[in-house]
Structure 1
Amino acid sequence: MFNYKSVVEFGIIGIGRFGFSLAKALIEAGREVIVLDCDENKIKHIRSLTDNAFVVDNLDKETLQETGIQNCKTVFVCIGEKIDISILTTLNVINLGVPRVISKAITYEQGCVLEKIGAEVVYPESDMAIRIANRLLNEEALEFIELNNDIHIEKVKITSKLDGKTIIQSKIRDDFNLNIIAMERGRNTIIEIDPSHILREDDLIVVIGKKNNIRNLEDFLGNK
């Protein structure tokens, strides 16, 4: 294991799609980056871009210290899906004295915990979804965005089924596992969604979630 003794600008732990894209962008910008992951195949893939990529058996404090990750100015922890590992790894990196730790979160609750232990938090899927939704509503250029084979962002028209109900009363999140990330009423576009906001017939909402769940909501509303 190569242990960096000098200061390195960035460290990235976890090479999923987000971590890989982040590492690639930083490397191509000429920045020095240390990359760590437990998956040897992922590390082999990123080594086409940098030699500073290492397989780690686990992400405990001692192992992380052996890699020299504590010498980074900023470390990104990109392990959002495995919440327990995400939180413990973030805590270990913070305890190693890294000045700035930015952790990926996939739920609000996970983000709250990460913030409480001292990390900055990003919600890549949500942040990207909001940017896309804002463009979709303002430009009216797209009917849906496919983030991957299962996760979609789509416009859905509110019908009389939910007219007069607040967002929280609509149970769109509870019953359909969908999150409203933006909405449009006439010429007005809202991207800061308040659960107490009252829905009206013909409102357009932008939801993110699994394709089947969006279809179920449309069936419920009578849009299909």
Structure 2
Amino acid sequence: MAESYGVIGLGKFGFHIATELLKQGKKVIIADKNEAAVREIADLSNSVFILDSSDILALKEAGFSNLDFVIISIGENIESSILTLMALKEIGVKNIIAKAITPTHGKILSKLGASKVIYPEREAAQHLLANFITNPEIETMHISHSLKIAKIKITRSLVGKSPKDIAQSLQNNQEYNIKIIAFKRSNQMEWSFDTAKETPLFENDRIILLGQSNQIDNFKY
């Protein structure tokens, strides 16, 4: 028998999960308390519900108790995420995959019986950063509409300064809200994320900075 799925929460992550499952021809029950979010996906499925996902009766009536897997993809509302997990456990759902916002949130979800806890934003950011670091042709990259990371080659003005010196200098500079997040020696392959190191940097070493896009673009060093 084909596996059946539920998706609760239609933010970006939940919407993409739901639409991908539907494309694969899976049986999917979808729910969100936001009518506008439900309307966006209603044309793709007949099993879309506007409901309070902490309401046990509403979940049962929608059919969530009969599903093999349920994915909780509730955004910033940690309380709602936790109450939803508890309600799903109460109606007998065995396999619950829950999205967490913070490590503490994730630990609570695990303690309450989530089968798997995922951190999609963190994992996406790690993947993006890994691609940025390993691709020598990319010098700057937007990671959101307002944030950018940039690889910068150490020039004479920074020679002799350590990653820690640069971090402190940036912290003390009220003109910029920029952080150093990694550095690499010119003769080494690996990047180091230990920006508290006091070892001096040399010309042609590189650092990675994170900050507001306009500040990165106008950064002078």
The interval holding the TM-score normalised by the smaller chain is 0.7 to 0.9
Q: Which of 97, 119, 123 in structure 2 is aligned with 1:102? A: 97
For normalisation by structure 2, the TM-score amounts to 0.73
Relative to structure 1, the CA distance from residue 200 to residue 41 in structure 2 (aligned partners, 3 Å threshold; closer, same or farther) is farther
Identity among equivalent positions (%) equals 29
| C-alpha contact 2:183 2:195 (8 A) present in aligned 1 | no
Which of these two proteins has the greater Rg computed from alpha carbons? Answer: 2
1:134 aligns with 2:130: yes
Q: Which moved more, 1:29-38 or 1:195-204?
A: 195-204
Q: Which moved more, 1:23-32 or 1:196-205?
A: 196-205
Q: How many residues align?
A: 207
Structure 1: how far apart are the matches of 2:56 and 2:194? 40
Structure 1 residue 79: Cα displacement: 0.8
CA distance in 1, matches of 2:94, 2:78: 22
In 2, Cα distance between equivalents of 1:49 and 1:61: 25
- 2:125 counterpart letter in structure 1: A
- Report the AA paired with residue 50 of structure 1: S
Residue number among 13, 26, 30 corresponding to 1:31 in the alignment: 26
Shift of the 7–155 alpha-carbon distance from structure 1 to 2, 3 Å rule, reads same
Shift of the 161–75 alpha-carbon distance from structure 1 to 2, 3 Å rule, reads farther
> Counterpart amino acid of 1:27?
L
CA–CA distance in structure 2, aligned partners of residues 100 and 206 of structure 1: 40
Residues 129, 153 of structure 1: 8 Å contact kept: no
For 2:71, the equivalent position in structure 1 comes to 76
Alpha-carbon deviation of 1:135?
1.4
Secondary structure of 2:57's aligned partner: helix
Can you list the C-alpha shifts for 1:79-124, whole angstroms capped at 9, x where unaligned?
1311111122122223322221111122222122222222211111
Unaligned runs of 5+ in 2: 172-176
Check the 8 A contact 1:7/1:71 in 2, yes or no.
no
Give the root-mean-square deviation of aligned CA atoms: 3.7
Distance 1:195 1:67, change over 3 A: farther
